[in-house]
Structure 1
Amino acid sequence: METALTALVGVRHPIVQTGMGWVAGPRLVTATAEAGALGILASATMTTDALRAAVREVKSRTDAPFGVNLRADAGDARERVRIIVEEGVRVASFALAPSRELIAELKDAGVVVVPSVGARRHAEKVAAWGADAVIVQGGEGGGHTGEVATTVLLPQVVDAVDIPVIAAGGFCDGRGLVAALAYGAAGVAMGTRFLLTSDSPVPDAVKARYLAAGVGDVTVTRAVDGLPHRMLRTEFVASLERAGRLRALTRAVRHASGFRRLSGLTWSRMLRDGVAMRRGHDLTWSQVLLAANVPMLLKAAMVDGRAESGVMASGQVAGVISDLPSCAELVGRVMGEASAILSGLSPTPPLPDAPD
């Protein structure tokens, strides 16, 4: 199936595996790329040395195109851009809108720039700055999310920009891909569906928690970092919501210290990143401090397997997923379903003329 997305990045299928922190490492990205979709490494939870090593590991395992996801507001964003350019990565995606200068630097090096957005005005901005495509996530998507459903947001963005639009939020099968194409998208991006594959590094016990969840078990909370965050509802999440501000801030400081040691960042670098985050999101300092919760709480579940003391970011689509295929099986299934649906769509016969 050829679309503007497959032509732009050189993959066989119009499917993107999103850059999920602690999840989208070399193992998952390689499996996705080998299946013919676009795998994206999540770099926000990696040091720069770990990022370079991860890129080289993927390149040693596959010749297929893949991408790297960056935080545009990170203090070392330019250093990470340099790694992408030096290592010949095909695609750079961004969790936040990158600056005009970062986009130009990447495009000058031949890197395809694909920011993720959650509003039409943000899509218009990055398109005007030269982005090659845009991922549009509706409110059904996991992690930080907005309030507008994909079915409303997607056509808005398709009508507003003249670059390929990739639909995210609520997709897991061939029906969703066909629906996205009908709205005018060039493909779909899926996070939770790729998290729930046999190639995902997430511990089996945590995957089991996802598979057991119903649609109603996926909630949006501000208790983790002060921003709307979609995740599985657990007793731990409920305890975060019950916690007072002082207790929450104390926990945030502890987690910030843990992430600093893990990431190799200095306190001054983390402070600069916090200033950038506060400016970009219009956050209070309390919310910036709470944001330090996220990497370590995600790591507790996604890496350490401690679902009872971590958080599990999730799209609503987790409530309709019931198996753990390999990436090859998943991509093959999605494309098979999509082809069958498209083949079954026949032209509607003309309506008879109305009687006089």
Structure 2
Amino acid sequence: MTTPPMLTTALTRLTGVDHPVVQTGMGWVAGARLVSATAEAGGLGILASATMGTDELERQIIEVQERTERPFGVNLRADAGDAEQRVDILIRHRVKVASFALAPRRELIEKLKEHGVVVIPSIGAVRHAEKVAAWGADAVMVQGGEGGGHTGAVPTSILVPSVVAAVDIPVVAAGGFHDGRGLAAALAYGAAGVGMGTRFLLTRDSAVPDAIKQRYLGFGLDGTVVTTKADGMPHRLLRTEYIEGLERRAGIRQLLPTLRRSLAFKRMSGMSWRGLATDAASMKKATGRSWAQMTLAANTPMLLKAGLVDGDTRAGMLAAGQVVGMIDDLPSCEELVDRVVRDAVEQLQVAASCLID
């Protein structure tokens, strides 16, 4: 495969990657294999740590570094009770980028920047972008409502340009991107690159079982739904029978299986009861969820793991962006990034040819 043309942006200069394409930090999906493959392809791979204990996070970082010498990042939960410890792990292993779900504390941003780590929080509103920019964040990733997993209501096409106009740091556009046309559009909006989750999940380098990938490929543009019944926050998931049933089910009927899965996650992660309680309290404070909603949130990791890791084709909770309905193949990360960049350059050249002297 020949080297794709270069698209140098504020994001590539900031992070040292070749192409302004980010593989987002998807829980259970973005492990060492996918992250290193993305990095080798010239994009920015983000390791998802929310479903890992600290020992596993350290092992995964070391594995990525054994697979590639190129820059990569780690996604952290800003509201995690052990966020400081995780930041120390990134610093110790000289990870290039720290991305965050929710806005991190000012102190965490300052500590990371003191040690040369690039800080890129994920945000869903202009005011959040303004806040983290004022605290020293190097860039922001902005996910519009089309995105998978936890998401907001404002479409990418409106949210991205509004954030670009509000802050003076690079903006990475996410939510609804899967090809070169999307990257070209994001650059036209003023973004410095795109973040893609579902598109990278559906690659050959993704460790998601093949049967689950085929299940994703079977959904159309109407194949996702946003529900708060999964964990109390708007969550875009594949429109499975389980999710449609969840929308109708009374909360009390979910309690027992929820507690069982919470116990399973505790055993798997190696976290203590105190650690789980601290995490839950931090998350509750950061998100404003009720304790009933927090109980549902404890259920989510194991429901996602059933399909994304265990390959259970009956699993009903599978996060996906609306863009799933546009995807019909499983390229390697190298093939994907190459195609996205080449097509974006072509689209930009066509747009430039329309200019009138």
Same fold (TM over 0.5): yes
- Partner SS for 1:215: coil
Aligned length: 350
Structure 1 regions of 5+ residues with no counterpart?
351-356
- 2: distance between equivalents of 1:33 and 1:297? 29
Q: Deviations over 1:38-83 (max 9, x none)?
A: 0000011111111111111111111100000000111111111000
Q: Deviations over 1:193-249 (max 9, x none)?
A: 000000000011110111010011111111211111001011111222222111112
Larger Rg: 1
- Partner SS for 1:135: strand
- 1: distance between equivalents of 2:202 and 2:354? 36
- The residue number in structure 2 matching 1:336 is 342
- The residue number in structure 1 matching 2:179 is 173
1:349 positional shift:
2.2
- 2: distance between equivalents of 1:347 and 1:317? 28
1:347 positional shift:
4.7
Of residues 327, 338, 355 in structure 2, which corresponds to 1:348? 355
Q: 2:64 matched to 1:58? A: yes
- 1: distance between equivalents of 2:82 and 2:287? 18
Structure 1 residue identity aligned to 2:355: T
- The residue number in structure 2 matching 1:219 is 225
Query: Mean alpha-carbon deviation: is it higher for 336-345 or for 134-143?
Result: 336-345
- 2: distance between equivalents of 1:28 and 1:20? 10
- The residue number in structure 2 matching 1:7 is 13
Q: 2:147 matched to 1:141? A: yes
- The residue number in structure 2 matching 1:103 is 109
Question: Does the 8 Å contact 1:16/1:190 carry over to 2?
Answer: yes
Following superposition, which runs of at least 4 residues in structure 1 exceed 3 angstroms of deviation? Answer: none
Structure 1 residues 309 and 342, CA gap change in structure 2 (3 angstroms):
closer
- Partner SS for 2:292: helix
- 1: distance between equivalents of 2:32 and 2:308? 15
Question: Does the 8 Å contact 2:241/2:316 carry over to 1?
Answer: no
- The residue number in structure 2 matching 1:317 is 323
Q: Deviations over 1:294-345 (max 9, x none)?
A: 1101100100111313411000000010000000000000011011112222
Structure 2 residue identity aligned to 1:308: R
- Partner SS for 1:313: coil
Of residues 273, 278, 286 in structure 2, which corresponds to 1:272? 278
1:152 positional shift:
0.6
- 2: distance between equivalents of 1:220 and 1:342? 33
- 1: distance between equivalents of 2:117 and 2:61? 14
Structure 1 residue identity aligned to 2:356: P
Q: 2:49 matched to 1:47? A: no
- Partner SS for 1:166: strand
TM-score (norm 2): 0.97
